[in-house]
């Protein structure tokens, strides 16, 4: 590894700079999971700092779960911490992480009026929309990139400052009187494009989990369309099926793709009805969306997407 000095003009503490550099090397697999990190003496020489600074940097990484340190041995890179994401609940990432004691940082990348894609305009019922893009992180480790489309007339006065390190859904409810209560979601595995890869600190083409869907307010009016790209090495989803309620509950661990509309090849034509399985999937998707809406109204929980 190349010798380098820390930037003493950087406002961050020296140990934080070293931790960030080592974290990036572990994240990019320059140091693979299971590999031994250089010794404290080697890191001290590499960065030009005291051993106490190196030890503080390693302690930070150990607390984050990025490295494991055993007495008398050099630190070892781990596979990293996997953060839990509940997809089915109509509560956003911010609230879910807050409840588990994690602080989710939010950086606004873009907030501007923009022409929406056709499917977004259809859902929102207007082409006068705001395009909001954010990066969500835990302990400076980026987890997701979120693009949200909002009806401009419903969020007049919305600013980036309001959304820094805060919840969009809480803000929609408290300031704009719009309570997100229902919606429909799907999860797909997609490759990272170059812009999102750079924001999430992964290589272009790296696998991401895309959570995409629509949200409605307490009156049934369309409130948002969102796309949220999650790092697949940091965030995972599980599925838990409850046959008695005919409802799917999602928990982190395994990717879930909600049944989607039939493709043209599956669509019924005269003399060639659509496969029964396709119709069943469509009905199941509608039932799932309705049950979710009713359950969330009963609980009066606050909104989802990626607020």
Residues 144 and 111 in one domain: yes
What CATH number is given to the structural domain containing 172?
A: 3.40.1410.10
pLDDT tier at 202 (50, 70, 90 boundaries)? confident
Q: Decide which of 77, 97, 125 is a domain's last residue.
A: 77
Domain that includes residue 169, residue range: 83-299
Q: List the one residue out of 52, 54, 15 whose CA is nearest residue 37.
A: 54
More confident residue, 134 or 6: 134
Q: Decide which of 54, 77, 100 is a domain's last residue.
A: 77
Residues 70 and 109 in one domain: no
Query: Residue 200 domain-assigned?
Result: yes
Compute the distance between CA of residue 94 and CA of residue 303 in angstroms, rounded to an integer. Answer: 10
Residues 139 and 26 in one domain: no
Q: What is the DSSP letter of 271?
A: T
Q: List the one residue out of 212, 228, 221 whose CA is nearest residue 124.
A: 221
286-295 mean pLDDT? 63
CB–CB of 132/148 below 8 Å? yes
Residues 114 and 185 in one domain: yes
Residues 146 and 289 in one domain: yes
Residues 289 and 178 in one domain: yes
More confident residue, 183 or 36: 36
Domain tally for the chain?
2
Which whole-number Å values give the CA distances from 297 to 134, 244, 293, in the listed order?
Answer: 28, 20, 6
132-150 mean pLDDT? 90
For residue 239, the model assigns a pLDDT of 58
Token duo for residue 297:
């109204």
What CATH number is given to the structural domain containing 39?
A: 1.10.10.10
Residues 288 and 152 in one domain: yes
Mean pLDDT, rounded, of the chain: 77
More confident residue, 96 or 224: 224
Compute the distance between CA of residue 182 and CA of residue 179 in angstroms, rounded to an integer. Answer: 9
Q: List the one residue out of 145, 149, 160 whose CA is nearest residue 198.
A: 145
Q: List the one residue out of 96, 91, 104, 86 whose CA is nearest residue 302.
A: 91
CA angle, 254 then 256 then 262, to 5°: 155
Residues 57 and 155 in one domain: no
- Buried b vs exposed e over 164-180: b needs ≥16 C-beta within 10 Å? eeebbbbbbbeebebbb
Token duo for residue 132:
């909001």
pLDDT tier at 298 (50, 70, 90 boundaries)? low
CB atoms within 10 A of CB 80: 18
Q: What is the pTM of this model?
A: 0.55
pLDDT tier at 286 (50, 70, 90 boundaries)? low
Query: Residue 103 domain-assigned?
Result: yes
For residue 72, the model assigns a pLDDT of 83
Query: Residue 255 domain-assigned?
Result: yes
Residues 172 and 122 in one domain: yes
């Amino acid at each position: 590894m190349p010798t380098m000095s820390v930037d003493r003009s950087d406002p961050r503490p020296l140990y934080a700079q070293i931790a960030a550099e080592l974290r990036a090397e572990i994240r990019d697999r320059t140091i693979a999971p299971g590999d031994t990190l250089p010794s404290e003496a080697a890191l001290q020489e590499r960065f030009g700092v005291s051993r106490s600074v190196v030890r503080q940097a390693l302690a930070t990484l150990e607390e984050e779960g990025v490295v494991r340190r055993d007495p008398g041995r050099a630190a070892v890179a781990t596979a990293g911490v996997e953060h839990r994401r509940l997809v089915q609940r109509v509560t956003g990432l911010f609230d879910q992480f807050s409840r588990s004691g994690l602080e989710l940082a939010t950086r606004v990348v873009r907030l501007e009026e923009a022409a929406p894609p056709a499917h977004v305009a259809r859902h929102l019922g207007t082409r006068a929309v705001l395009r909001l893009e954010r990066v969500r992180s835990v302990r400076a480790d980026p987890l997701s990139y979120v693009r949200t489309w909002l009806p401009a007339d419903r969020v007049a006065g919305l600013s980036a400052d309001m959304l820094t390190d805060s919840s969009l859904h809480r803000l929609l409810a408290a300031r704009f009187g719009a309570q997100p209560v229902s919606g429909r979601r799907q999860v797909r595995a997609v490759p990272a494009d170059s812009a999102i890869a750079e924001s999430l600190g992964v290589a272009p083409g790296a696998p991401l989990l895309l959570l995409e869907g629509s949200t409605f307010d307490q009156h049934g009016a369309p409130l948002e369309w969102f796309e949220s790209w999650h790092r697949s090495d940091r965030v995972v989803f599980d599925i838990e099926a409850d046959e008695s309620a005919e409802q799917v509950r999602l928990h982190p661990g395994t990717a879930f793709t909600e049944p989607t509309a039939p493709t043209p090849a599956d669509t019924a034509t005269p003399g060639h009805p659509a496969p029964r399985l396709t119709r069943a999937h469509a009905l199941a998707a509608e039932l799932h969306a309705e049950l979710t809406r009713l359950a969330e109204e009963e609980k009066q929980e606050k909104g989802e997407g990626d607020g």
